Amino acid sequence: MSRRWTNDLTASDVTPEALFLNRRQVMAGAGALGIAGGLAGAANAETLEPNAFEDITNYCNYYEFGTGKEDPAKYAGALTTDPWTVQIDGMVDKPGDYSFDDIMSQMDIEERIYRFRCVEAWSMVVPWNGFELADLLDMVGVKPEAKYVAFETALRPEEMPGVRYPVLDWPYVEGLRLDEARHPLTLMATGLYGKPLPNQNGAPLRLVVPWKYGFKSIKSVVRITLTDTQPATAWNKANAGEYGFYSNVNPEVDHPRWSQASERPLGGGLFARRKPTLMFNGYDEVAGLYEGMDLVKNF
């Protein structure tokens, strides 16, 4: 398959592996000072430093395994990822239950070094391994009437202790417009740093949409549905005023509780110098998808 996307990042831009895998401890330290979520309050916390490596290796964030920062590392190992099946249904020519192995046998896997921007106003650079979602959609055939793609995360109460609590309306769900899903940048990730995805990062298959805030990149996908109706999304259902359907990275549209104009790159310490946030996270090639749209109303 010919490559349809070119990259402006190199290996030197990549967030170090240990920092990426354990980034949530950094945010936990910020939360202790009342600035979790990337609030621009660094001046209030100059004495706080990130925890030692031994501490941060046990932190991640995957609410299905609990809201405590230690919970995913403690419980995500219980998630059975082999075998894994993805149900693909709705407005497709070949609906069915597709095993992860069958999908992988028909996809071209490549590395994509992408910027990653969290809605909490921190950022990093990640080398994903995966395939373009468009290739999977082509494999099953999309009917002409389809306009959206809906995604669903695994829901396994016996393996996911966090779903016993109504933190969100389980299962976790997300969605894209069909043209967003077909864009060459939209990736189904199967690994990072040349290794299979860790359970806490969405094993074995997750979505990566680099011009949108990170929560749009749904983890541990078990269902993909083609539909003509805009699908519900987990955080939008939880708080529509804070989390819109599109959730494009946009420095001109603040979160109701903090600015999105700048971000703190991971890897330079808890209070590393912030940098301006780029529109669409720097991926200007997607701007045409939203031509004529009010990106304040359609946030």
Binding residues: 63-64, 118, 153, 201, 206, 217-219
Residue 100: in which H helix or E strand, if any?
Answer: helix 100-106
Give Cα 285 distance to the centre of its chain: 19
Give Cα 13 distance to the centre of its chain: 19
Distance CA 253, CA 236 (A): 16
Residue 99: in which H helix or E strand, if any?
Answer: strand 96-99
CB 65 within 8 A of CB 161: yes
CB within 8 Å of 186: residues ≥ 6 apart: 132, 133, 134, 176, 180, 207, 208, 209
- Residues belonging to the binding site for Mo-molybdopterin are 63-64, 118, 153, 201, 206, 217-219
- Classified as helix, coil or strand, 177 is strand
Place of tokens 């070094």: 113
CB within 8 Å of 164: residues ≥ 6 apart: 157
Distance CA 31, CA 153 (A): 27
Q: Which DSSP category does 48 fall into?
A: -
Distance CA 212, CA 248 (A): 4
Residues in the chain: 299
